Amino acid sequence: MVYARRCVKFLAFHKHGSMKLKTNRAMFFFLHRHFSTTTKTNFPNLSKIPIKHRNHVIYEAQKALTDYLHNTKSIPFTYAEHIGNNTFCSLTNLISKVNFSPPTFSNNIKRVIRFHPINEFEVFFESIGIDYTLVSDLLPNDKLFFSEDRTLLEAACVLCDFGFPWEKLGVLYMEKSSIFGKSVEELKLRLCWFKRFGFGNVEVIGICLAFPFVLSEEVDQIQKGVFGIDGLFSDLKLIFLDNSLGSYVEGNVDSWYEVCRKLRMFFDLSGWKGNVGELMGKNKSIFVDHKEDEIVHRVEYLCRFGGKKEEVALLILQCPEVLKLDLEKTVINVLELLKHFGMSSKDLEDVIENFGHVLGTIRMVNLPNVMRAMGLQEWFCDKLKGGHHQLLADYIASDRNEDRDKVYQDGLRRIHISRARVHSINKLNFLHRLGFGENALTMNLLDCLHGTSSELQERFDCLLRSRIEFSKLCMMVRKTPRILNQNYEIIEQKVIFFNQKMGTTLDYLETFPAMLHYHLDDRIIPRYRFHTWLTERGLSYRKYSVQSMITDSEKKFVARVFKIHPAAPKHWFEQFCRRKLMVIGEGQSQTKMVEAHILVDALSYKQDTGAAAELCSLLSQGADARIICCSDGDLRCRNEEAMLVLRSGAYSTQSDGDFEINSSDVWLVCCKTVNLERLFFVRSSSDQIFKDFKYSNPQEMLVRSVKLLRSSSTASSLQDDDKLQSCSDMKTTMTCF
């Protein structure tokens, strides 16, 4: 808009600015239409034209197009001028084909138009207000000129003569293109018939723009009053004339079109049934004081309570006060509102006990989801429809002083002074949009959620699409907020696997939402398939729950499997477990991957279930473990949670570089490097399979364990003895491997 005004000012003082003020004003409206910030059209590039010449170039192109249509194509000057003055994209495409030179541009553009015929339907569709990006789909396939089919232009001329703004004819064409296939006489007859209801030209134009279908039906059908057209004009007469709404509308097409659009909204919402016309006539303030977007947003807001559109339309017509509510600023207390709407004391106690996450104060805009989070949306909607809609306005008008939760307010102050305040506030607003109130529980959940508000909403919607009830899903988030900390695609895959492969119901998922935490490929699928394999082969007759199947640690899982059958752990690691150990041979540049079960199988410790489970657990955690072949012949494994030292001679190197471990004589020392509180000393050929040592000093524990290993009658001395015995620093001990 500002740019358009500057262009007009520039034209007034330009060296070519001898044009009259009337032309300047026309140029202003043209520029305002095409350079407005609300337009969505992508304009062609005019970078080849200097900025100071662009407005003059556009004016000359408009003039050349108008002259071409009028003088060459014999189109009346008024209509030719409408087309020329309201065509921008087509003209700029044309300008880009002309070699620009200020003195000769006027003649050059005329020559191009004269000898390179333009598509007249293209400039026509753009001139009547249709988005240029849609024009190509509307063009006839085998026609370029109006002379090939004048019906379209003649219909537009009749409507324009009646008073329709030329640039608004696109509204009619996009909704009912058949209007422009009518004959001149038919359109004139129809427009005159509408005036018999007592409306003038301006009123009829506004009505037709808002209800284009009244111009598209057959005349004999209109006279019979079919398709609701006769009833529509009767209702409009009741609204505008009998109830005097017309006296509140300014006498121009834009104002009448705006009001009629609001009326059509309520006709559409109500399904064109009932006495909606009478109700609209009695509530003129709805259409005078409120904008269309405001009404649309309020309808969407009330529909979120679970009501149907026709019910919401009647509710607004019966209680226009709901349009005056400030949804963003108004703060209400959930319990107080429920009391105000007549909820019993027993039901209030149930709300306090089961839905603590929604309690406290909330903004009015979040009230629909608060009701959904409690499963009370239908109850609240029935209250509104049952004549209690006035209670909502009365509660807000009572000007209550709502008490805010102190813990929540303290947390909010900390957020505002934090470095990530914008990110935290967005996450907090996400929780409020779900129906969580301003309380301590909501603030505590904030730190458990990871991701942007849009990502969290996407993940929540993914679970909602799986047909989990909104209230139950909110309870799942309250109980286990971490379910929203993973990509929505992963969540979707897990839900599909649980439902379709494992036969898990949504009720079970709602009871145990933590099942969504675990890795699908590394834990859920392998364990489920392994249990299925055990059941199919008759090794296990017990049907384990999903919770016990996937939540047990690796130690407990292997221990349980070992009790089912001693050989089961080997089969688990060999065929199902996805975890790997990395093996690097001495002098080998190539890294080889071997299954963890190779080492497990080498330890024949069937006599002690606890030791077996513990060792299997440590080995299975070796996704990034390294087994290094040292120069002294020892095979050692360094891991973040376990260190394995296999005695020299317990393996042999094959010709292909792989390792073959001799399971008959293996020494193993496993130390937890996190706290080093436990030491496991295992020898497969010994009667004493498992010993548990506890020492206050981790370094002493490691040194003493190595001494025990060396003192054994079957153990050979380790070449790295000095390194182990001089371990004054545990970090040095671990890095030496």
pLDDT in tens, 461-514: 999 999 899 999 999 999 999 999 999 999 999 999 998 888 888 888 888 999
Residue 446 has pLDDT above 80, yes or no: yes
Summarize the confidence of residues 413-426 as an average pLDDT.
93
Q: How confident is the model at residue 625 (pLDDT cuts 50, 70, 90)?
A: very low
Total-model pTM? 0.68
**pLDDT of 507:** 87
Q: How confident is the model at residue 578 (pLDDT cuts 50, 70, 90)?
A: low
Summarize the confidence of residues 244-265 as an average pLDDT.
93
**pLDDT of 45:** 60
Q: Give the long-range contacts of residues 275-279, CB within 8 A, separation 24 or more.
A: 276/235, 276/313, 276/314, 276/317, 277/234, 277/235, 277/236, 277/238, 277/239, 278/235, 278/238, 279/314, 279/317, 279/318
Least confident of 129-138, 507-516, 635-644: 635-644
Residue 591 has pLDDT above 50, yes or no: no
Point out which residues pair with 643 in neighbouring strands. 638
The answer to whether the beta carbons of residues 147 and 73 sit under 8 Å apart is yes
Q: Which residue has the higher pLDDT, 204 or 542?
A: 204
The answer to whether the beta carbons of residues 399 and 405 sit under 8 Å apart is no
Q: What is the dihedral of CA 73, 74, 78, 83, to 10 degrees?
A: -10
Distance (Å, whole) CA 566 – CA 606: 7
The answer to whether the beta carbons of residues 668 and 689 sit under 8 Å apart is no
**pLDDT of 395:** 79
Distance from chain centroid for Cα 31:
36
Residue 590 has pLDDT above 70, yes or no: no
Point out which residues pair with 669 in neighbouring strands. 681
Q: How confident is the model at residue 44 (pLDDT cuts 50, 70, 90)?
A: low
Residue 598 has pLDDT above 70, yes or no: no
**pLDDT of 28:** 43
The answer to whether the beta carbons of residues 504 and 539 sit under 8 Å apart is no
Average pLDDT, the chain: 74
Distance (Å, whole) CA 637 – CA 643: 6
Q: Which residue has the higher pLDDT, 509 or 685?
A: 509
Residue 525 has pLDDT above 80, yes or no: yes
- Give the contacts of 248 (CB within 8 A, at least 6 positions apart): 284, 288
Q: Which residue has the higher pLDDT, 52 or 695?
A: 52
The answer to whether the beta carbons of residues 370 and 358 sit under 8 Å apart is yes
Helices (H) and strands (E) in the chain, counts: 40, 12
Q: Token pair for residue 708?
A: 């025990």
Q: How confident is the model at residue 274 (pLDDT cuts 50, 70, 90)?
A: low
**pLDDT of 400:** 64
Residue 335 parent element (H or E): helix 334-340
3-state secondary structure of 270: helix
**pLDDT of 673:** 32
**pLDDT of 579:** 57
Q: Which residue has the higher pLDDT, 570 or 152?
A: 152
Distance (Å, whole) CA 675 – CA 124: 81
First to last CA, the chain: 73
Distance (Å, whole) CA 248 – CA 589: 88
Instruction: Write the DSSP assignment of 168-194 as a string of letters.
Output: GHHHHHHH-GGGGGS-HHHHHHHHHHH
Distance (Å, whole) CA 332 – CA 399: 10
Where helices occur in 68-183 by DSSP H, the ranges are 77-85, 89-95, 105-115, 120-127, 132-135, 151-162, 169-175
Residue 650 has pLDDT above 50, yes or no: no
Q: Give the long-range contacts of residues 420-426, CB within 8 A, separation 24 or more.
A: 423/452, 426/452, 426/453
Distance (Å, whole) CA 640 – CA 475: 37
The answer to whether the beta carbons of residues 405 and 360 sit under 8 Å apart is yes
Percent over 90 (pLDDT), the chain:
38
Tell me which residue of 654, 648, 642 sits closest to 716, measured CA to CA.
648
